Chains A and B, each alone.
Chain A
Amino acid sequence: MDKFRQFRKMFAAHWKMTFREKQAWFWSIFFPVILMVIFMIIFGGEDDNDFSAKIAIVEEESTEATNLLKTGLKMIPVLEIVSDEPETVAQAEEMVKEKEIDAAVILPGEEGTEIRVIINTENEQGVTTQAVYGILSNYVQQMNFQLAGVLPTYSLKTESISAGENPLKFTDFILTGMIALGLSQGGLFGMANQVDLRRKGVIKRLRMTPANMGLFGLSDMLMRMIFALFQLSLLSVIGVVFFDVTLHIHFLSLFMVFIIGALAFNAIGYFLSSFSKTIEAYMGMANIISFLMLFLSGVMFPIETMPEWIQPLSHMLPLTYFVEGIRTSMVYESFYADWLGIGNIILWGIVTFILGSLFYKRKSIVADR
């Protein structure tokens, strides 16, 4: 029998079925792209020196000291002082309530020494509010030093470094996270077709012919790999063109991480499909797993920022290492040599594949009875 001919026809069939399946397009292409664009816009915008906060200054009483404080505040570049200054504290409070400004600074009168800052409770934990607090407290401290005629002995200078030779921007971090997430979702959700084929009895039907089921699985896998490669390229291009992401790719490392990761997540999807009776059940499970991993695997923020008790869980998930691997290979231009991490991904792949195969085998004997 011509095995190559069989493989070619099977591959063509998988290819056509995938491209004609709208769900595959949505989950594998549009969804990761939309998700990435949203996250890039939300988290990628506050980079570098773009930060600015809008504040209003209220002088309860105009004195030499308040004029000095006011001039000083106006000189802070990231603070944008509104031109139509409120005359009273009540007016300023109204502006904060209406969110016209990020904060109102109430300068003290002749006798007072207290500078009050009014912010909206809704924004209390927001990044802008926290930054305004920091800036103002630093400013008040500087003013106190000046008034006391003291020069600070120590000063603070921060530098940021990243694991690779190239400086890491937050958008680079997000993009690589989203690429890893997208590829993992491709694997997790990609077996919907498999569930459908089994539900309709097609797998059973094929077993009644001399069709080589190994080749059927292999051709499906090859098609998925090509699809995943397309996904990787598309997300990278969007990141580079629209979000100014800088990629420094270590191709060998990327190739290794891509193959291992894509196979492992396909195996997890295969495992989920092995005990799902309906597409809805399968999609539900894939969604839960994907959603959990999205938050626990360092896709959008580093694992170290999460509560300590949850971190061991993150270190058990394959996406954690897949994200690291993709990031190392695509941004740091280094070879991803965390063998324990790679071992984790491979272990997930092997265990879920074996379990999935066992479930399929057990079911095929008693199928539809």
Chain B
Amino acid sequence: MAYIEVTDLKKSYGEVQAVKGVSFTVKKGEIFTIIGPNGAGKTTTLEMMEGLISPDDGKIVIDGLTWEENGNDIRQMIGVQPQTSALLDLLTVDENLDLFASFFPKNRPVEEILSIVNLTDHRKKQVKKLSGGQKQRLAIGLAMISDPDIIFLDEPTTGLDPQARRNIWDIIIALKELGKTTILTTHYMEEAEKLSDRVCIIDQGSIIALDPPHTLIEKLSTEREIKIVFTTLEEASQAMGIIKDTVDIQAKQDGNAIVFTCKNVEDALYEIVRFTRNRNLKINQIAIKDYSLEDVFLSYTGKEWRD
């Protein structure tokens, strides 16, 4: 049964239609990721779900409640980490958590939050002295202070270095283990692929695909790209000539490598290796490329994905 139900959501800013009739459902306890390029309508969709802006049209139902009738009840149920970390810079980590705790009737102990977001050692530091990653972790901590069932994370890793990004991923995984429902937006495909139970790809205000990441990739194609690297350019050219003439595979040469796509990887590799063995050609490296969400995006929109 759907925990959150979004139906035909629309929002315009003047002439610009930011969200054009978006519908989806979110199950309890899942990590649901909305992904799309900048300006795709992710944050607008999220802010409508958070009750921060009203939709022009459409409906949002959260655990049977609506913003129009049960705004205060929903606010108790959700925790939000906005895109800008939006913290009180002159207060310490502890003081920020303490202030936010006073807004809610039920709280998760500050100690626990600090431990989940790994800020125990920095609790007495003023926010302005924290690094970008630490600030984002605190922002997630603030979203968790009321021990909400649903947590909205709006691009929590944007602008962070790889290590800081991985730290945030650990927290998101920990939230799932705690049974929380997480709605995440990101424009990092890798993040969506690694963390999400389901991914909703949005472009220009509309949903272009919605499924678990592996299903999206599987749906894309059953063909795989194989790259065989030879030790020398001559060997690669020789192999290319023979393959073209004898094996039924569309291949192209890329330096001392040949690249081709095929449906049956196992058979194709067997044939090629047998072939090269017989002719004494030495293979240096074999790579089978996995399709990613980036390829999914490319196939649906015809546009290259850019982080």
B52 at the interface (CB under 8 A from A): yes
B89 at the interface (CB under 8 A from A): yes
Residues of B contacting A209 in the complex (Cβ-Cβ under 8 angstroms): 75, 80, 100, 103-104, 146
Mask, A44-60, CB within 8 Å of B = 1, is 00000000000000000
Residues of B contacting A241 in the complex (Cβ-Cβ under 8 angstroms): none
Q: Which of A294-346 touch B at CB < 8 Å?
A: none
The answer to whether B86 touches A200 (Cβ under 8 A) is: yes
Q: Which residue of B lies closest to A202 (CB)?
A: B86
Residues of A contacting B103 in the complex (Cβ-Cβ under 8 angstroms): 6, 206, 209-211
- Complex Cα spacing A17 to B75, Å: 26
Residues of A contacting B80 in the complex (Cβ-Cβ under 8 angstroms): 205, 208-209
The answer to whether A201 touches B82 (Cβ under 8 A) is: yes
B131 at the interface (CB under 8 A from A): no
Q: Chain A's interface: helix, strand, loop or mixed, by majority? A: helix
The answer to whether A208 touches B75 (Cβ under 8 A) is: yes
B215 at the interface (CB under 8 A from A): no
Cβ-defined partner of A200 (8 Å) among B44, B78, B84: B84
- Complex Cα spacing A20 to B72, Å: 33
Mask, B35-55, CB within 8 Å of A = 1, is 000000000100000111100
Report B143 CB to chain A, min CB distance, Å: 9
Q: Which residue of A lies closest to B89 (CB)?
A: A200
Q: Which residue of A lies closest to B101 (CB)?
A: A9
The answer to whether B90 touches A17 (Cβ under 8 A) is: yes
Q: Which of B70-115 touch A at CB < 8 Å?
A: 72, 75-76, 78, 80, 82-84, 86-91, 95, 98-100, 102-105
Cβ-defined partner of A201 (8 Å) among B86, B95, B102, B146: B86
- Complex Cα spacing A201 to B80, Å: 13
Q: Which residue of A lies closest to B71 (CB)?
A: A210
The answer to whether B99 touches A200 (Cβ under 8 A) is: no
Residues of A contacting B86 in the complex (Cβ-Cβ under 8 angstroms): 200-202, 204-205
Q: Which residue of A lies closest to B72 (CB)?
A: A210
Report A156 CB to chain B, min CB distance, Å: 62
Q: Interface size of A by Cβ–Cβ distance < 8 Å?
A: 29
The answer to whether A13 touches B75 (Cβ under 8 A) is: no
B232 at the interface (CB under 8 A from A): no
Report A140 CB to chain B, min CB distance, Å: 68
- Complex Cα spacing A21 to B51, Å: 32
- Complex Cα spacing A189 to B91, Å: 21
- Complex Cα spacing A205 to B52, Å: 9
The answer to whether A207 touches B52 (Cβ under 8 A) is: yes
The answer to whether A208 touches B102 (Cβ under 8 A) is: no
The count of A-to-B residue pairs whose CB atoms sit within 8 angstroms is: 72
Q: Which residue of B lies closest to A197 (CB)?
A: B88
- Complex Cα spacing A206 to B143, Å: 11
> Quick one: given A5-B102, A9-B102, A209-B104, are A369 and B90 in contact (CB under 8 Å)?
no
Mask, A199-231, CB within 8 Å of B = 1, is 011101111111100000000000000000000
Residues of B contacting A362 in the complex (Cβ-Cβ under 8 angstroms): none
B270 at the interface (CB under 8 A from A): no
- Complex Cα spacing A202 to B75, Å: 16
Q: Chain B's interface: helix, strand, loop or mixed, by majority? A: loop
The answer to whether B88 touches A13 (Cβ under 8 A) is: yes
- Complex Cα spacing A311 to B13, Å: 47
> Quick one: given A201-B82, A201-B84, A201-B86, are A1 and B105 in contact (CB under 8 Å)?
yes
B126 at the interface (CB under 8 A from A): yes
Residues of A contacting B78 in the complex (Cβ-Cβ under 8 angstroms): 208
Q: Which of A1-52 touch B at CB < 8 Å?
A: 1-2, 5-6, 8-10, 12-13, 16-17, 20-21
A148 at the interface (CB under 8 A from B): no
Q: Which residue of B lies closest to A207 (CB)?
A: B52
The answer to whether A16 touches B52 (Cβ under 8 A) is: no
The answer to whether B95 touches A13 (Cβ under 8 A) is: yes
A365 at the interface (CB under 8 A from B): yes
Which residue, of B13, B103, B126, has the highest number of chain A Cβ atoms within 10 A? Answer: B103
> Quick one: given A16-B90, A21-B90, are A205 and B99 in contact (CB under 8 Å)?
no
- Complex Cα spacing A208 to B91, Å: 20
Cβ-defined partner of B13 (8 Å) among A10, A16, A366: A366
Residues of A contacting B126 in the complex (Cβ-Cβ under 8 angstroms): 20
- Complex Cα spacing A368 to B105, Å: 30
Residues of B contacting A201 in the complex (Cβ-Cβ under 8 angstroms): 82-84, 86
- Complex Cα spacing A21 to B105, Å: 31
Report B95 CB to chain A, min CB distance, Å: 7
Cβ-defined partner of B90 (8 Å) among A9, A20, A204, A368: A20
The answer to whether B52 touches A208 (Cβ under 8 A) is: yes
- Complex Cα spacing A1 to B51, Å: 20
Q: Which residue of A lies closest to B74 (CB)?
A: A210
The answer to whether A208 touches B82 (Cβ under 8 A) is: yes
- Complex Cα spacing A6 to B100, Å: 9
The answer to whether B88 touches A17 (Cβ under 8 A) is: yes
Residues of B contacting A365 in the complex (Cβ-Cβ under 8 angstroms): 53
Residues of A contacting B53 in the complex (Cβ-Cβ under 8 angstroms): 365
Residues of B contacting A207 in the complex (Cβ-Cβ under 8 angstroms): 52
Residues of A contacting B87 in the complex (Cβ-Cβ under 8 angstroms): 200, 202
- Complex Cα spacing A52 to B193, Å: 88
The answer to whether A204 touches B82 (Cβ under 8 A) is: yes
Q: Besides A13-B95, A208-B75, A368-B84, 14 other CB < 8 A contacts?
A: A1-B104, A2-B102, A5-B102, A6-B103, A8-B102, A9-B102, A16-B95, A17-B88, A201-B86, A202-B87, A205-B80, A206-B103, A208-B51, A210-B103
A-B contact pairs, 23 of them (CB 8 A): A9-B102, A13-B95, A13-B99, A16-B91, A17-B91, A20-B90, A21-B90, A200-B86, A201-B83, A201-B84, A201-B86, A204-B86, A205-B86, A206-B103, A207-B52, A208-B52, A208-B80, A208-B82, A209-B75, A209-B100, A210-B104, A365-B53, A368-B84
The 8 closest A-B pairs by CB, nearest first: A205-B86, A201-B86, A9-B102, A211-B103, A201-B84, A20-B90, A17-B90, A208-B80
A residues lining the B interface (CB < 8 Å):
1-2, 5-6, 8-10, 12-13, 16-17, 20-21, 197, 200-202, 204-211, 365-366, 368-369
